[in-house]
Structure 1
Amino acid sequence: MPDATDQAFYDRADAHIELSNEQLKILENLGQVSASMMFGTTRFNAWASARNFKSGAEMAEAREAMLKYFCEQYRMMLEDNLDDHINNFSQYMTAPKPQ
């Protein structure tokens, strides 16, 4: 993530993670909770993107550009977080699991 990202960005992300951790306490299925979070993110991003267009046809013209943007952003953020977990594996994985 860029260094210019403000703390509120991370606070919002942490709020989503906390909700998933709460769901994990009930469901106890990490894969299902993760899939739901990813689906919610994609649905929200599709809705947020649609707000920038006047018609479905106009949105369809930009579909590939939107896919490229969101896939690149997801990959960049995932790479950063994977690297963080690789570099801090012992610290992160010995911490107590969410309850």
Structure 2
Amino acid sequence: MADASDQAFYDRADAHIELSNEQIKTHGDLGGVSASMMFGTTRFNAWASAQNFKSGAEMADAREALLKYFCDQYRLMLEDNLDDHINNFSQYMQVK
């Protein structure tokens, strides 16, 4: 994960979130937009990973390591964001 001081990392993430928020306004389907964002992330990560290999067979050999890396990273990031929302629920959800 990026260093907390890497503002460009957070700016890119915020741009993706902003796009998803706009799609929610347009389509009104929070679950569908969330699923589309996750699918897009996995599709992009598969493509980005493929850039490091010379063949599908070589990539297939690394499949389990790739899955472990991305699943571990997703879990760490999700844990951090869940904890952040738990600790700041009233502020983020504007609960009175």
State the TM-score, normalizing by the size of structure 2. Answer: 0.94
Question: How far does residue 6 in structure 1 lie from its aligned partner after superposition?
Answer: 0.2
Q: Which residue of 2 aligns with 1:66?
A: 66
Superposed, 1:17-32 pairs within 5 Å as 17-32=17-32
CA distance in 2 between partners of 1:26 and 1:85 (Å): 25
* Cα offsets for 1:41-82 (capped at 9, x unmatched): 000000000000000000000000000000000000000000
Judge conservation of contact 2:24–2:33 (CA < 8 Å) in 1: yes
Question: How far does residue 24 in structure 1 lie from its aligned partner after superposition?
Answer: 0.5
Which one-letter code corresponds to 1:48 in the other structure? A
Aligned-residue RMSD, C-alpha: 1.4
CA distance in 1 between partners of 2:46 and 2:94 (Å): 37
Count of residues in correspondence between the two structures: 95
Which one-letter code corresponds to 2:63 in the other structure? R
Which one-letter code corresponds to 1:11 in the other structure? D
* Structure 1 segments (4+ residues) deviating >3 Å: 1-5
Structure 1 pair 92–4 and aligned structure 2 pair: CA distance change class (3 A)? closer
Unaligned 5+ runs, structure 1: none
SS in structure 2 opposite 1:53? coil
- Over the matched positions of the two proteins, sequence identity in percent amounts to 84
CA distance in 2 between partners of 1:5 and 1:48 (Å): 24
Question: How far does residue 4 in structure 1 lie from its aligned partner after superposition?
Answer: 4.7
Which one-letter code corresponds to 2:80 in the other structure? D
State the TM-score, normalizing by the size of structure 1. Answer: 0.92
Q: Which residue of 1 aligns with 2:47?
A: 47
